[in-house]
Amino acid sequence: MTPLVGAALGGLALASLIGLRGPGRLAYPLGFSGVSLAVAGGVGWAEGWGAGAFYLLLLGLAVLGLAPYLPAYLELHPSRAYAFLLPLFVGAMAGVALAPPGYAFLFLWEAMSLLGYLLVALEGAKAVEGAQALFLASRLFGLGLYLAFLGQGRLGQDAVWLGLVLGFGVKAALFPFHGWLPRAHPVAISPVSALLSGAMTKLGLLGLYQAAFWFGPPPLWVGPSLVTLGLAGAVYALVRGLAEEDFKGALAYSSVENLGLMLAALGGYFVTGHPLFRAAFFLHQLTHALFKTHLFLVAGVLGERRLSRLGGLWRQAPGLGAQALWGMAVGAGLPPGPLFLAEWALYLGFSRGGFGLPLGVGALALVGALALFYYVRLFGLAFLGQPRGPASWHLAPGMVLGLRILGGALFLLALWPGLVLGPLGVQVYPNAPLALLLFALAYLLYRRLQALPHRTYSTWDCGHQPLTPRMQPTGLGFSQPVLRLFPFVRLREGEHPHLEEPLQRLLQVIGEAYARLARLVQGLQSGSLHLYLLLQLLTLVLVLGVVLL
Amino acid sequence: MSALLLLFLAPLFTGSVKWLKARLTHRLGPSPLLEYQNLFKLLGKAWVRPEVGTPLFLLGPVLAFLASMAAASFLPLLPGPHFAGDGFLALYLLNLGRFFQMLAALDAGSAFGAQGSYREGLITVLAEPGTLLALVAAGLLGGEFSLARLPVLDPANALVLVLVLASLALALLAEGARMPVDDPATHLELTMVHEAQLLDHAGPLLALYELASGVKMLFYAALMALLLPGPSFWVFLGMGAAWALALGYLETYGVKLRYLRLPDFLSYNTLFGVLAVLGAVWRF
């Protein structure tokens, strides 16, 4: 069964890849044949409708890496349900990207949310809470989408866009509506987290971008608030994530950061209309989908995920260490990685635009420095130093292949970002020569140093007693100096930092109220045929009344 | 080209600071040229690999060196590549080196390397925003953001550029691991930041690290030199000499700040950066 899933996902991925390169008008296997993708035409994918094609490329590449990984992974999690639900979920996401704004879109959007909920909730009782956070948030704020879709033409542009920002923003983890993401992603199995974080969240971004073509240009307040909230969310997520002990939890917070930067780029585009912002927006999306999928797949290999129990993984699994290093160096936004290219475009956009946008550079630099620290902590504590517990990891050949595909795609993207940026009309600096020169020189110098005489010896221990693994900093110990700069994460002696995400309390109250309402309605389900007939009659009268009035 | 110039001058710079510090405390002091001899000696030595080490232990110094050289090559002191936005790339290349240096320090598996690592991280978080803001402010004045087209100090833009220069000066102290922030002469583990990360690296690895940090310090001096009028090559030489003098005095008569006081000190960097940008936007 499981190889079939892999094959199905891979097939979809290839179909989407081929589809993107094909001629102007395409019918996708999902039946939305009315959608025309003027990829080869003069319009290009950057304009409105065509952005769906870009999304298919992104989804296709992520799924392509996932396809060989999944069969090996699912042998450890023998649940039939994944084999059934995962392709549906991927299909729903592809559908959302291509659907025109209307009932089909809303239907697929709901299907995607429901499938996402089920995929997270499959992991048992502990996961249900996280899944509910995801579902409740998307339900509650998703109402904004209905407001926008149904109110178009009747409501003012401000109300429509408020609905859009709420509805799409919550999927894209717009601060402060991001609370569901770090609760849902760590509890799901890794391939599901990878899809949720790498692919599903992008649909919110894509929706906001396309909405500017569907519903007319956004009102003036949208752009600046997206920039402000995006940058604030990025800083907040990184600081909050530094207090996270769980490897996957840290990855989830890093997603909130990246999505914040993308939202800031989109906001900048709405404010100024400068193509640099749009280039940053799209390149960041593709890069994030690839590297976050890659890193979640790395996390799926680990048996133990608490940072303070890990250590020295690289020596135990050398291939995995090198893969993780590449993914994390990209994630830290370092040149010549593709994420840096996106950030570079964002920097340049900020430093050019008026309207106080240059101050965004400071926030962006803070995000950059925090991300550097973030990934040093994540990689250093897990993969370097002395092991702090028994090694537990499982790496099958298929998993290695999946990681290599994603890592390779990231490398190619660093060398030829023009493939993405070309149609957007933005030229970046020549990154490929820099990357190749840097890699070649590093390789030569590395080999030269290795050939020099050296000896292996234990790390200097001050001459007292031998070093023990417990002398290395813990996950929280490492981030404490930076955490104490920011007042919103409080660390107390001997306890783990606990922080309510903003709006989490609201969601909880609404969830409880909804559960109470459901228990009340349960009384109707009495088994009495008369009652059911009466209810049907009442419904009919109500519907007729609404229609006739 | 500029990178080679900086590489050549870096040992002279650090050597001169050491010599000056010795003279100021009435000691004879090593010749400033001793640093070159020292580097050649280190390059010929054997090195030690910790038992728990991974390939990162070597990659750390290699990339720290290559990245700071790559960053320095964008300086327009001598002919070299330049394009719009090269300043961002140069600063992020320095970050690349820092990333691997911090990781290599964690690789030895001791408490000291890790300590140096997270302290370095804190300093980066504090210093980075102000530095980039300052550069953007200069870029806004010059119209086009490229290191080759930075504006030079004149009465019309004096206030903003002075703020930029002040911010860069603080950045040099922080990034170069210099006195109020870090003490390059100490070998007391509890107070080290930069040195703690290099503790386990010996021989050629140490030489690469020393060169990288020298080049990095001169990189900031060169950034400041670019903002002053005159032929930038000669201004840079003067700026290097001025900084050697300043550092010598600062480290003889100054004290290292308590570690917990660093945010207070470096917040001036951010403040200057923000003010400079506001000044550039509003043209005061």
Q: Which whole number is the average pLDDT over A29-56?
A: 48
B108 at the A interface (CB within 8 A)?
yes
Q: Which residues in chain A are closer than 8 Å to B93, comparing Cβ atoms?
A: 335
pLDDT of residue A293 exceeding 70, the answer is yes
Nearest CA in chain B to A363: B129
Among positive and negative, which fits the CA dihedral A453, A457, A459, A465?
negative
pLDDT of residue A422 exceeding 80, the answer is no
Nearest CA in chain B to A434: B70
Q: Which residues in chain B are closer than 8 Å to A358, comparing Cβ atoms?
A: 133, 136-137, 140, 277, 280-281
| Confidence (pLDDT) at A105 | 86
A167, two tokens: 């509805």
Rg (CA), chain B: 18
pLDDT, tens digit, 9 for 90 and up, residues A360-378: 999 999 999 999 999 999 9
From residue A147, give the alpha-carbon distance in Å to each of A151, A157, A159, A543, B192.
Answer: 5, 11, 8, 20, 58
Find tokens 């799209």 and name the residue: A282
A429 at the B interface (CB within 8 A)?
yes
A478 at the B interface (CB within 8 A)?
yes
Q: Which residues in chain B are closer than 8 Å to A354, comparing Cβ atoms?
A: 281
| Confidence (pLDDT) at B271 | 95
Indicate the residue type of A362.
G
Q: Please check whether residue B216 is in contact with residue B208, taking contact to mean a CB–CB distance below 8 angstroms.
A: no
Q: Binning pLDDT at 50, 70 and 90, where does residue A3 land?
A: very low
pLDDT of residue A22 exceeding 50, the answer is no
Tell me the C-alpha distance between A442 and B63, whole Å: 7
Tell me the C-alpha distance between B212 and B11, whole Å: 10
Q: Which whole number is the average pLDDT over A131-144?
A: 78
Q: Which whole number is the average pLDDT over A471-476?
A: 88
pLDDT, tens digit, 9 for 90 and up, residues A62-78: 888 888 888 888 877 76
Can you tell me whether residue B148 is helix, strand or coil? helix
* SS3 letters across chain B: CHHHHHHHHHHHHHHHHHHHHHHHCCCCCCCCCHHHHHHHHHHCCCEEEECCCCCHHHHHHHHHHHHHHHHHCCCCCCCCCCCCCHHHHHHHHHHHHHHHHHHHHHHCCCHHHHHHHHHHHHHHHHHHHHHHHHHHHHHHHHCCCCHHHCCCCCHHHHHHHHHHHHHHHHHHHHHCCCCCCCCCCCCCCCCCCHHHHHCCCCHHHHHHHHHHHHHHHHHHHHHHHHCCCCCHHHHHHHHHHHHHHHHHHHHHHCCCCCHHHHHHHHHHHHHHHHHHHHHHHHCC
In angstroms, what separates the C-alpha of B49 from chain A's closest C-alpha?
Answer: 5
Among positive and negative, which fits the CA dihedral A128, A132, A133, A138?
positive
In angstroms, what separates the C-alpha of A45 from chain B's closest C-alpha?
Answer: 26
In angstroms, what separates the C-alpha of A209 from chain B's closest C-alpha?
Answer: 26
B198, two tokens: 């290099």
Can you tell me whether residue B48 is helix, strand or coil? strand
Nearest CA in chain B to A468: B110
A496, two tokens: 């783990």
Instruction: State which residues of chain B have pLDDT below 50.
Output: none
Question: By CB neighbour count within 10 A (0-12 exposed, 13-18 middle, 19+ buried), where does A248 fall?
Answer: buried
Find tokens 């042998």 and name the residue: A75
A438 at the B interface (CB within 8 A)?
yes
| Confidence (pLDDT) at B112 | 87
Q: Binning pLDDT at 50, 70 and 90, where does residue A323 land?
A: very high
Question: For residue B47, what is the enclosing H or E element?
Answer: strand B47-50
A16, two tokens: 């989407």
B265, two tokens: 């000190």
Angle at B81 (CA atoms; ends B77, B87), nearest 5 degrees: 75
Compute φ and ψ for B48, nearest 5 degrees.
Answer: -115, 130
Which of residues 153 through 212 in chain B touch A, CB cutoff 8 A?
A: 199-200, 203-205
End-to-end CA distance of chain A: 53
Can you tell me whether residue B267 is helix, strand or coil? helix
Which of residues 222 through 261 in chain B touch A, CB cutoff 8 A?
A: none
Nearest by CB to A478, from B59, B114, B130: name it: B114
| Confidence (pLDDT) at B130 | 95
Interface test with A, best of B120, B128, B197 (most A CBs within 10 A): B128
From residue B186, give the alpha-carbon distance in Å to each of A45, A275, A507, B193.
Answer: 58, 50, 53, 10
Nearest CA in chain B to A385: B109
Compute φ and ψ for B49, nearest 5 degrees.
Answer: -105, 130
Which of residues 480 through 499 in chain A touch B, CB cutoff 8 A?
A: 480-482, 485
| Confidence (pLDDT) at A138 | 78
pLDDT of residue A264 exceeding 50, the answer is yes
Q: Which whole number is the average pLDDT over A302-326?
A: 90
Indicate the residue type of A469.
P
Q: Which residues in chain A are closer than 8 Å to B67, comparing Cβ atoms?
A: 438
Tell me the C-alpha distance between A8 and A277, whole Å: 36
Q: Which whole number is the average pLDDT over A2-7?
A: 46
B52 and A434 in contact by Cβ < 8 A?
no
Neighbours of B208 (CB within 10 A): 25
From residue B210, give the alpha-carbon distance in Å to each of A504, A512, B93, B203.
Answer: 49, 61, 17, 11
Nearest by CB to A362, from B49, B122, B133: name it: B133
| Confidence (pLDDT) at B218 | 95
Q: Please check whether residue A162 is in contact with residue A272, taking contact to mean a CB–CB distance below 8 angstroms.
A: no
Angle at A294 (CA atoms; ends A290, A295), nearest 5 degrees: 120
B121 and A376 in contact by Cβ < 8 A?
yes
In angstroms, what separates the C-alpha of A419 from chain B's closest C-alpha?
Answer: 21
B102 and A376 in contact by Cβ < 8 A?
yes
